[in-house]
A and B are shown apart, each in its own frame.
Chain A
Amino acid sequence: MKIGIEIIAKNYNGGPKLKVLVGDEVLFDNQITTRGKQLIEVEAKSQLPGQIILCHYDKDMKRDTKLEHNGVIVDDKAFIINTVTIDDIKLKYELYLFDFIKDDGTVVKNNTYIGHNGKFVIDIDKDNLYSWYSGMQRSLVSVQEPFSYEQFRKEIFEDDL
């Protein structure tokens, strides 16, 4: 299983430390020292079903976030998960369906900005990646896009207006 993780890194104080695991198999463990968009590509031997875990660690919450005097964050040791590609399946909007579990156990939903220490867990609970992905898309759309015939019609015909 090939996994590609596109992140946007903020490299304050040396940059975030990231570990990528599938189950117990550690595929990547490094400090992201370069700022901006970058791609981490790894290959897992583990079979599905399984969990892909992006673990952010070793951040000192007092020292590794640069704040302005008014409390606004101006730089950070953190990263944004932009996309995750698993074989030929690309997750983007779907990423908001997964939980980020902070080290203190707090579960953060609808979030791809990884600013705290913790684990972002992509839980693939089927051995068939395609059916897992399809099912997830269906739930994603049904959750996010309530159906209205009139609205859908308007959208489809809008280029005629």
Chain B
Amino acid sequence: MLNCDLLVVSVPYTDTTYPLQAPAIIKASVEQYGYKAQTFDLNHEFIKSHNEDNFEFLKNFFSFGTTDDKNKIHIAEQYIQRVVEELLQKYSPTWLAISVFTYQCQTFTEMLSREVKRVKPWIKIVVGGQGITTQGINSSDGWVSRLQKEKVVDNYIISEGEVSIIDLLKKGYGDGINNTNWKQQLDLERSPFPDYSDYKLEEYEGDRLMITGSRGCVRKCSFCDIHKHWKKFVYRSGESISNEMIKQSQTYKRYKFHFTDSLVNGSMKAYRDLITHMAAHNRSAENKISWGGQFIVRGIRAMNKQDWKLTKESGADWLALGVESGSESVRDHMKKQFSNKDLDEFVEQASINDVKLKFLMIVGYPTETQKDFDDTLEMFEKYKKYKNVITNVQLGSTLGVLPGTPLADDYGHDLSLNNGENFWTYKHNKDLTFRERIKRRMIAGEEIAKMGYNVDANVSQIKLLHFLWNVYKKDQTQGVIDLNTSEVTNQKYS
């Protein structure tokens, strides 16, 4: 039995093959203050059982908390009882900290907490993570404050937990503890490197570790709500990030990193610093480090040939670009701030330096005309010669007007939501109905695949549209969970 002050667990359901970062960060944060922490990835344990009979039922039940067969709920209850029994046979914690990554982890969290309190009511439970409030238009701490009221959990932490968890353990109160008045951490370099020592890293696919170099975004794209959550763009120095990558690779023998940042090159100063350090490391390292992450498109004047050379040498494996549309006028309305020429230069440099690209697209933006849509298809036609560089295209499930975005705030008077974020109509582009957007999305998927590109998750996104279409047809209301996804890299809400 392992005694510890804090047992940090991540819970189902998050669709990922990566080791989730949050428990490792919390462990490292509390241990530097002398507390003893253990981590356990219950999400991973669950995913490992994917071949078992009830996996699909449990996945859906844990994700949405609903089933059309109530007689099966006892299967979920038994699963939770078994998990708690095994967990508490192995660990004897004073605190249980549950990392709720998305909304789809809420059901498991609640069931787990109730069972722990039933079996060992003296264990204090704290929950945290984006999933405790990520409910879009219904965003609030309603769910978690109810759990607290019912004494299912003792405390909750809103947003960044590294500092708050220390406040909780030391004082029992602080910003963001049992309240929504959290303060954004402005100095990311204060946090210690994530501690994965309790993880069985060899069990995770892809050999990757996650890393965070910044929080927030330097852009304010019209369809994105990230600036609402992270008021400021804060970032670590390139040296600090490269130190983490090098140290973690030496400790855990993992040489691939996945940036969780909204964009890796938000600050070009920090980015140049990062690639300079990493390029120097890789030149002499036996095991070269590689990385990937989301990236802003910059033309050759902003990101010159030397930057590209160092980008490659630093280990840039793939960059995910929010290209969104082949039409400049659509991108201008989105405030993406790059031209077709910038994109041409970017793709050309990626090709010269053999850095792979993923294009993230939006089909059916409010101002998108038929010509704009054709421009998108033409762009892919034009870039066919770079097919070996543009390895993946994500077309999404048509634009949803999310609450808190400039589109909702600034253009709301011209948009009718029609009972759903995906069902909107725009006064100045009335022909672009939900049906028309689905049509364009289907055409885009078919044509781009015909050109030889790999269109990611095409069927699952069309399935989601099929579901939404049925909701729309029946004049029902689109729920917020329809906007969420359990895929770790594809969360719509920030």
Give the B-binding residues of A (Cβ under 8 A): 88-90, 92-93, 97, 123, 125-128, 130-143, 145, 147, 149, 152-153, 155-157, 159
Is the beta-carbon distance between B480 and A130 smaller than 8 angstroms? yes
Distance of A1 from chain B, by nearest CB (Å): 15
Stretch from B186-194, B254-262, B344-352, B464-472 forming part of the interface with A: B464-472
Is the beta-carbon distance between A135 and B64 smaller than 8 angstroms? yes
Cα separation A149 to B435 with both chains bound (whole Å): 15
Query: Which residues of chain B from 106 to 145 have any CB-CB distance to chain A below 8 Å in the complex?
Result: 135, 138, 142-143
Between B138, B435, B470, the greatest number of chain A beta carbons within 10 A of the residue's beta carbon is seen for B470
Is the beta-carbon distance between A156 and B481 smaller than 8 angstroms? no
Is the beta-carbon distance between B435 and A134 smaller than 8 angstroms? no
Cα separation A156 to B466 with both chains bound (whole Å): 10
The 20 listed contacts between A and B (C-beta, < 8 Å) are A90-B476, A93-B474, A93-B476, A97-B68, A127-B143, A130-B479, A131-B64, A131-B480, A132-B66, A134-B479, A135-B65, A135-B66, A137-B479, A138-B482, A139-B66, A139-B68, A145-B466, A155-B469, A156-B469, A159-B435
Query: Which residues of chain B from 439 to 473 have any CB-CB distance to chain A below 8 Å in the complex?
Result: 439, 442, 459, 462-463, 465-467, 469-471
Is the beta-carbon distance between B143 and A134 smaller than 8 angstroms? no
Q: Which residues of A contact B477 (CB under 8 A)?
A: 88-90, 133
Number of residues from B at the complex interface, CB < 8 A = 32
Is the beta-carbon distance between B466 and A134 smaller than 8 angstroms? no
Q: Which residues of A contact B330 (CB under 8 A)?
A: none
Is the beta-carbon distance between A156 and B435 smaller than 8 angstroms? yes
Is the beta-carbon distance between A139 and B469 smaller than 8 angstroms? no
Cα separation A153 to B68 with both chains bound (whole Å): 27
Cα separation A125 to B469 with both chains bound (whole Å): 26
Is the beta-carbon distance between B438 and A141 smaller than 8 angstroms? no
Asked if A127 meets B470 with Cβ closer than 8 Å, knowing A134-B482, A156-B439, the reply is no
B146 sits at the interface (CB 8 A): yes
Is the beta-carbon distance between A141 and B138 smaller than 8 angstroms? no
Q: Which residues of B contact A97 (CB under 8 A)?
A: 68
Is the beta-carbon distance between A134 and B68 smaller than 8 angstroms? no
Q: Which residues of B contact A131 (CB under 8 A)?
A: 64-65, 103, 135, 138, 479-481
Is the beta-carbon distance between A141 and B142 smaller than 8 angstroms? no
Q: Which residues of A contact B439 (CB under 8 A)?
A: 156-157
B67 sits at the interface (CB 8 A): yes
Q: Which residues of B contact A125 (CB under 8 A)?
A: 65-66
Q: Which residues of A contact B470 (CB under 8 A)?
A: 141, 145
Is the beta-carbon distance between B442 and A153 smaller than 8 angstroms? yes
Q: Which residues of A contact B482 (CB under 8 A)?
A: 134, 137-138
Cα separation A147 to B143 with both chains bound (whole Å): 33
Cα separation A157 to B439 with both chains bound (whole Å): 7
Cα separation A100 to B64 with both chains bound (whole Å): 24
Cα separation A147 to B477 with both chains bound (whole Å): 20
Distance of A156 from chain B, by nearest CB (Å): 5
Distance of A40 from chain B, by nearest CB (Å): 22
Distance of A42 from chain B, by nearest CB (Å): 21
Is the beta-carbon distance between A130 and B64 smaller than 8 angstroms? no
Cα separation A140 to B69 with both chains bound (whole Å): 11
Is the beta-carbon distance between B474 and A92 smaller than 8 angstroms? yes
Is the beta-carbon distance between B471 and A141 smaller than 8 angstroms? yes
Cα separation A136 to B64 with both chains bound (whole Å): 9
Asked if A134 meets B474 with Cβ closer than 8 Å, knowing A153-B442, A156-B438, A157-B439, the reply is no
Is the beta-carbon distance between B442 and A156 smaller than 8 angstroms? yes
Q: Which residues of B contact A137 (CB under 8 A)?
A: 471, 476, 479, 482
Cα separation A149 to B469 with both chains bound (whole Å): 13
Cα separation A44 to B50 with both chains bound (whole Å): 43
Between B68, B135, B438, B466, the greatest number of chain A beta carbons within 10 A of the residue's beta carbon is seen for B466
Q: Which residues of B contact A90 (CB under 8 A)?
A: 476-477
Q: Which residues of A contact B146 (CB under 8 A)?
A: 127
Distance of B246 from chain A, by nearest CB (Å): 43
Q: Which residues of A contact B143 (CB under 8 A)?
A: 127-128
Cα separation A155 to B146 with both chains bound (whole Å): 43
- Mask: chain B, 133-173; 1 = CB below 8 Å from A; 0 = not: 00100100011001000000000000000000000000000
Q: Which residues of B contact A147 (CB under 8 A)?
A: 463, 466
Q: Which residues of A contact B435 (CB under 8 A)?
A: 156, 159
Distance of A161 from chain B, by nearest CB (Å): 13
Cα separation A127 to B145 with both chains bound (whole Å): 12
Distance of A154 from chain B, by nearest CB (Å): 11
Distance of B467 from chain A, by nearest CB (Å): 5
Cα separation A132 to B135 with both chains bound (whole Å): 13
Distance of B180 from chain A, by nearest CB (Å): 17
Between B67, B138, B467, B482, the greatest number of chain A beta carbons within 10 A of the residue's beta carbon is seen for B467
Is the beta-carbon distance between A134 and B480 smaller than 8 angstroms? yes
The 10 closest A-B pairs by CB, nearest first: A134-B479, A135-B66, A135-B64, A139-B68, A134-B481, A141-B470, A152-B466, A156-B438, A141-B467, A147-B463
Asked if A138 meets B462 with Cβ closer than 8 Å, knowing A130-B480, A152-B469, A156-B439, the reply is no
Is the beta-carbon distance between B466 and A133 smaller than 8 angstroms? no
Distance of B438 from chain A, by nearest CB (Å): 5
Distance of A112 from chain B, by nearest CB (Å): 15
Asked if A139 meets B474 with Cβ closer than 8 Å, knowing A131-B135, A134-B482, the reply is no
Cα separation A87 to B270 with both chains bound (whole Å): 50
Is the beta-carbon distance between A130 and B68 smaller than 8 angstroms? no
Cα separation A138 to B67 with both chains bound (whole Å): 9
Asked if A152 meets B462 with Cβ closer than 8 Å, knowing A135-B64, A139-B66, the reply is yes
Give the contacting residue for A149; candidates B135, B459, B476; CB below 8 A.
B459
Distance of A6 from chain B, by nearest CB (Å): 14
Cα separation A147 to B470 with both chains bound (whole Å): 11
Asked if A136 meets B442 with Cβ closer than 8 Å, knowing A89-B477, A130-B479, A156-B435, the reply is no
